Amino acid sequence: MTTTPLDNPLSVKKAGLSHTAVYWIGFCVVMAVLIVAPLVLPVFWAKFLTEILIWGLLAMSSDILIGYTGMVSFGHSAFFGLGMYGAAGALLLFPPNLWLAILFGLAGAGAAALFVAYFSTRLRDIYFAITTLIFSQIFYVIIFTWTKVTGGENGLIFTRPHLTFAWLFDQRFDRVTMHWFVLAIVAGSYLTLRRIMHSPFGMVLQSIRENEARTRAIGYPVQRYKIIAVMLSGLFAGLAGVLYAVQNEFAAPDFVYFITSGDTVIFNVMGGIGTLVGPIVGAGFFQLLRELMSRIFGDQFPYLIPLGVIFIVMIIFLPQGLMGWARRWLNK
């Protein structure tokens, strides 16, 4: 994306590597660290890291809407939850199969996303946010009260499927391979989403964020784009739900409560919206702080109070999130 003037050898020497090269090197370094991590970290922190990746994927899916299309959604808990319950359904109804679970989870999340998108994309801004919130609560109530199907308050428990590749490969997940699987999916999702957001489609979404009226005036079917954006976002959120179910072997209605959506939005804002990787950083930052606080102040400490304050302070003074701050700091 940046140009390195080819006809000026001096500036090439000064600039060193191009922007893209730096980016990919950074990416590989981070990946390497994440791959090695479960082998060197104590069990607690390794599992912690895996969970951060899953929450990060959820937050990343939400970034499509918040960061790129300019729509704040509080409905991600529904997509996440339905991905989780969809996977649970597959694992309970049929002989446990990883790919079937993923399929069911994505189908569930996708259906929810289509439903929510159809209604809520008619409205803009604040109205959209409220509607998505209400819809996520609708799903919560259904899941919570339809005890026969969803296990109600207690949720569902099931066994983790094996990692299978057709008939070639069948192996149980252990902690480390589970982590690598999650990492592979999250990294793959990140790269896919990055590709999509930089494609013409992604550019239209960003243009909707900048000036919806103008985008519509130019001739783009804005509502259709929004629906696709919500569905895309919902699918990846559902994927995160599937991963969560597979990793933890249970599905619970708590995750469908809109608080999960709220947490997701917090990860986004803290990490930096519109960056895809920011939300993952935000998720990590949030969980880390929470863990730290419960270590220092004890389990009963209402960690959300100081975290809430930090959140608000960041909105006011650091609206670009941690990534934005890091970017500015690096550019100095």
Tokens of 117: 């998108």
Question: Cβ distance 68 to 202 under 8 Å?
Answer: yes
Provide the minimum distance between the beta carbon of 8 and another protein in the complex, in angstroms, as a whole number.
Answer: 30
Residue at 211: amino acid letter: N
Residue 179, C-beta contacts closer than 8 angstroms, at least 6 positions apart: 37, 38, 46, 49, 50, 53
* Rg over CA atoms, the chain: 21
d(C-alpha 195, C-alpha 163), whole Å: 27
Q: Does 130 bind another protein (CB under 8 A)?
A: yes
Q: Does 131 bind another protein (CB under 8 A)?
A: yes
Q: Does 325 bind another protein (CB under 8 A)?
A: no
Q: Does 296 bind another protein (CB under 8 A)?
A: no
Neighbours of 144 (CB within 10 A): 18
Q: Does 214 bind another protein (CB under 8 A)?
A: no
CB-based burial label for 103 (10 Å; 0-12, 13-18, 19+): middle
d(C-alpha 235, C-alpha 78), whole Å: 11
Q: Does 123 bind another protein (CB under 8 A)?
A: yes
Q: Which stretch binds another protein (CB under 8 A): 9-17, 163-171, 214-222, 306-314?
A: 306-314
Q: Does 294 bind another protein (CB under 8 A)?
A: no
d(C-alpha 189, C-alpha 239), whole Å: 9
Provide the minimum distance between the beta carbon of 248 and another protein in the complex, in angstroms, as a whole number.
Answer: 24
Contact string 246-265 vs another protein (x = CB under 8 A): ----------------x--x
Q: Does 134 bind another protein (CB under 8 A)?
A: yes
Q: Does 308 bind another protein (CB under 8 A)?
A: yes
Q: Does 72 bind another protein (CB under 8 A)?
A: yes
- Dihedral Cα 292, 296, 300, 305, nearest 10 deg: -60
Q: Does 309 bind another protein (CB under 8 A)?
A: yes
d(C-alpha 180, C-alpha 42), whole Å: 16
Q: Does 125 bind another protein (CB under 8 A)?
A: yes
- Dihedral Cα 310, 315, 316, 321, nearest 10 deg: 90
Percent helix, percent strand, percent coil in the chain, to nearest 5: 75, 5, 20
Q: Does 78 bind another protein (CB under 8 A)?
A: no
Q: Which of 59, 133, 251, 276 binds another protein (CB under 8 A)?
A: 133
Q: Which of 168, 316, 329, 330 binds another protein (CB under 8 A)?
A: 316
Q: Does 233 bind another protein (CB under 8 A)?
A: no
Compare residues 134 and 196 and give the one whose CB is closer to another protein: 134
Binding site for another protein (CB under 8 A): 66, 70, 72, 119-120, 122-123, 125-127, 129-131, 133-134, 137-138, 141-142, 144-145, 262, 265-266, 269, 300, 302, 304-305, 307-309, 311-312, 315-316, 319
